[in-house]
């Protein structure tokens, strides 16, 4: 039976807890006394407690994040009621700030704030030696990355076969964007490159083909970025896929040259714009070269095969509905494959809280702490924006309606305004229901385009039918029967994009 359990509740089964693997790798002589166990938020806290306590551990170290803090609080409450002698140690961004107001912190024995790679092992060694430090909240200084043991051996064969593999080349962020916890992570530190590339080679040798980099700004240090891109390009084989978060206004020629070399399906670039309003950007300490952003996105879209995943945040202090609409329309014109519309969150410890009084910022009291209203956006407007984000994901970002979506704004100067009207209409049809079957959404889209916008069924039908069949559906819904091709593959299955989703401390 292990003395120590490292655990967390992931957002989904497919996710792996990279932080736990960093802890495990740096436990030194305690590794043999430690078990790593992962759960997800769809599992009941009572069942998780049962699984944990079956090991009879002396210490349970639990990672707490914005997506799991509610069930994690219930889990700790159960653990301390049933086995009060079991020591519970918390860590993670959600409990690294404002600890005095959190019920989960009150329930736990210790909380390590900041980067706990080395601090967790030091505390566990004391506890197992019979020492009980009096200090409950234990700040951890950022460790020198060269001192840290590599976490990549902690990925097992099951992880490699069925789950996302996270890697990192750096920690920290050079910017001070007030909506983001990474704003406090200066300076940026880099892992020693030769040793890191050796680890990547080992992962490749073990069959890893999808690498999701968690770096906040992969293209900050160009020599490092170029070396990593050259490394993977030289070892390219079908199935290789890199997810990289890039600064939007930093794509010099040397970086562009590398990105052009990658074939379709091998790169996803996450590019956070957040706002195109320079006044709003300055207010929240996010200063960007918008001309460079336009030029870079055009280049990437035209000259590379990278899948561009861009981000905007709705609800920023001082951003009106009209300002957000202008930014959204500007981004649509640049034609990225995805535009993620995220609602502003008031993350614990983020400096965005300083605008609460001036801009009347009101947030939901429960995770994920999303904006409810502010001085420029009343509650009803924020709810419309939230629905807009949902239906944009279902319609535009899903990949199911690539050719059809632009028909929504074909006769409108503003894609945002046109899509907002579609959002209002489809929400009324759905009656507030959360889950919507693809066939039903397709039918509503056909009706909206033909009945509400007056577009000719003979023009809409073939486009919508092409989208429906292109994603692998072989059935013929009645409203599309006259527009679908005669030859379909009855054994066809819906296509899977294979694109990796984000899991990070940043917004959106």
Between CA 228 and CA 193 the distance in angstroms is 9
Q: Which residues in the chain land under pLDDT 50? A: 487-508
Backbone angles phi, psi at 89, to 5 degrees: -115, 125
In this predicted structure, what is the pLDDT of residue 506? 32
3-state DSSP call for residue 62?
Answer: strand
* DSSP letter for each residue of 376-414: SS-HHHHHHHHHHHHHHIIIIITSS-TTTGGGGGTT-S-
Residue linked to tokens 């084989």: 237
Q: Identify the bridge partners of residue 61 per DSSP, sorted by sequence position.
A: 6, 89
In this predicted structure, what is the pLDDT of residue 431?
A: 84
What's residue 493's pLDDT? 41
Check residue 338 and give its pLDDT. Answer: 98
What are the E-state strand segments in 207-265? 210-213, 241-246
pLDDT at position 486: 55
- What pLDDT score was predicted for residue 184? 66
pLDDT of residue 502: 34
C-alpha span between 68 and 286 (Å, rounded): 28
Q: What is the per-residue pLDDT for 497?
A: 39
Distance CA 330, CA 265 (A): 26
Tens of pLDDT, residues 30-78: 999 999 999 999 999 999 999 999 999 999 999 999 999 999 999 999 9
- Kindly report the number of other CB atoms within 10 A of residue 255's CB atom: 18
> Which domains, from first to last, does the chain contain?
4-143 (3.40.50.2300), 164-353 (3.80.30.20), 390-508 (no CATH)
Q: Which pLDDT score, from 0 to 100, does residue 435 have?
A: 82
Per-residue pLDDT tens over the stretch 94-122? 999 999 999 999 999 999 999 999 999 99
Cα of first residue to Cα of last residue in the chain, in angstroms, is: 40
Q: Determine if the pTM surpasses 0.85.
A: yes
Per-residue model confidence (pLDDT) at position 181: 85
């Amino acid at each position: 039976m292990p003395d120590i359990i490292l655990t967390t509740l992931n957002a989904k089964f497919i996710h792996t807890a990279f932080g736990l693997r960093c802890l495990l790798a740096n436990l030194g002589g305690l590794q043999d006394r430690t078990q790593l166990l992962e759960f997800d938020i769809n599992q009941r806290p009572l069942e998780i407690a049962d699984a944990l306590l079956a090991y009879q551990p002396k210490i349970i170290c639990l990672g707490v994040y914005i997506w799991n803090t509610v069930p994690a609080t219930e889990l700790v409450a159960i653990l301390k009621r049933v086995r009060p002698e079991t020591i519970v140690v918390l860590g993670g961004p959600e409990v690294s700030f404002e600890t005095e107001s959190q019920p989960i912190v009150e329930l736990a024995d210790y909380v390590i704030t900041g980067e706990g790679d080395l601090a967790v092992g030091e505390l566990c060694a004391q506890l197992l030696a019979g020492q009980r430090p009096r200090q409950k909240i234990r700040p951890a200084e950022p460790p020198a990355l060269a001192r840290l043991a590599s976490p990549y051996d902690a990925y097992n064969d099951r992880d490699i076969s069925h789950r996302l593999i996270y890697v990192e080349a750096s920690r920290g962020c050079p910017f001070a964007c007030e909506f983001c916890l990474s704003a406090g992570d200066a300076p940026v530190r880099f892992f020693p490159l030769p040793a890191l590339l050796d680890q990547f080679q080992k992962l490749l040798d073990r069959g890893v083909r999808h690498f999701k980099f968690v770096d906040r700004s992969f293209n900050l240090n160009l020599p490092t970025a170029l070396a990593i891109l050259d490394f993977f390009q030289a070892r390219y084989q079908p199935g290789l896929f890199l997810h990289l978060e890039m600064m939007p206004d930093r794509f010099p020629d040397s970086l562009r040259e590398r990105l052009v070399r990658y074939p379709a399906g091998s790169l996803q670039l996450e590019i956070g714009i957040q706002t195109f309003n320079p006044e709003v950007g300055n207010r929240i300490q996010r200063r960007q070269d918008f001309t460079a952003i336009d030029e870079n996105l055009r280049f990437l879209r035209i000259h590379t095969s990278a899948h561009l995943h861009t981000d905007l945040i709705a609800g920023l202090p001082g951003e009106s509905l009209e300002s957000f609409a202008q930014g959204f329309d500007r981004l649509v014109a640049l034609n990225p494959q995805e535009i993620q519309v995220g609602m502003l969150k008031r993350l614990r410890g983020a400096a965005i809280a300083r605008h609460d009084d001036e801009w009347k910022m009101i947030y939901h009291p429960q995770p994920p702490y999303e904006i409810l209203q502010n001085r420029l956006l009343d509650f009803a407007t924020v709810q419309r924006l939230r629905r807009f984000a949902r239906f944009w994901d279902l319609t535009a970002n899903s990949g199911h309606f690539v050719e059809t979506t632009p028909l929504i704004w074909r006769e409108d100067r503003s894609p945002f305004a046109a899509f907002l009207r579609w959002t209002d209409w489809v929400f009324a049809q759905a009656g507030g229901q959360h889950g919507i079957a693809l066939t039903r959404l397709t039918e509503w889209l056909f009706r909206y385009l033909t009945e509400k916008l007056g577009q000719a069924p003979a023009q809409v039908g073939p486009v919508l039918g092409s989208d429906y069949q292109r994603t692998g559906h072989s059935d013929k819904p009645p409203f599309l029967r006259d527009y679908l091709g005669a030859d379909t593959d009855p054994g066809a299955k819906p296509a899977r994009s294979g694109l990796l989703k984000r899991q990070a401390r940043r917004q959106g």
